[in-house]
């Protein structure tokens, strides 16, 4: 099994969260404990950020990682064109 697809399906939950227009924050509020807890989805993304960045780039999205302020968030943004749809860079002659 890939280290990025654990038994909890966090990769699938991450994708579902993003395609439903939501963000993933570093901490989530637990109503039962009445406190903030580390988000397992954020932790999965952060620990494998290079992998997820490349994965989402290949399917036409870019990950925006914002660590400013009190809360760290990850947002996915749809690219206008995927890297494979972008025209090759023109070569300059001589």
- For the stretch 64-89, pLDDT in tens is 877 776 666 767 787 765 455 555 55
Tell me if 70 is assigned to some domain. yes
Span 51-63, mean pLDDT? 89
Distance (Å, whole) CA 36 – CA 30: 6
Q: Is residue 62 over pLDDT 60?
A: yes
Tell me if 22 is assigned to some domain. yes
Tell me if 66 is assigned to some domain. yes
Tell me if 4 is assigned to some domain. no
Tell me if 2 is assigned to some domain. no
3-state helix, strand, coil in the chain (%, to 5): 30, 25, 45
Range of the domain at 14: 10-78
Tell me if 24 is assigned to some domain. yes
Tell me if 92 is assigned to some domain. no
Tally of domains within the chain: 1
The pTM (predicted TM-score) of the whole model is 0.69
Tell me if 21 is assigned to some domain. yes
Per the model's pLDDT, the better-predicted residue between 42 and 75 turns out to be 42
Q: Is residue 46 over pLDDT 60?
A: yes
């Amino acid at each position: 099994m890939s280290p990025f697809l654990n038994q909890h399906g966090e990769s699938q939950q991450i994708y579902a969260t993003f395609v439903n227009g939501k963000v993933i924050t570093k901490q989530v509020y637990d109503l039962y404990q009445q406190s903030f807890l580390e988000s397992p989805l954020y932790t999965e993304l952060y620990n494998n950020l290079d992998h997820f960045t490349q994965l989402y780039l290949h399917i036409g999205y870019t990950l925006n990682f914002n660590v400013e302020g009190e809360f760290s968030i990850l947002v996915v943004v749809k690219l206008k064109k995927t890297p494979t749809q972008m025209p090759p860079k023109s070569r300059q002659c001589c």
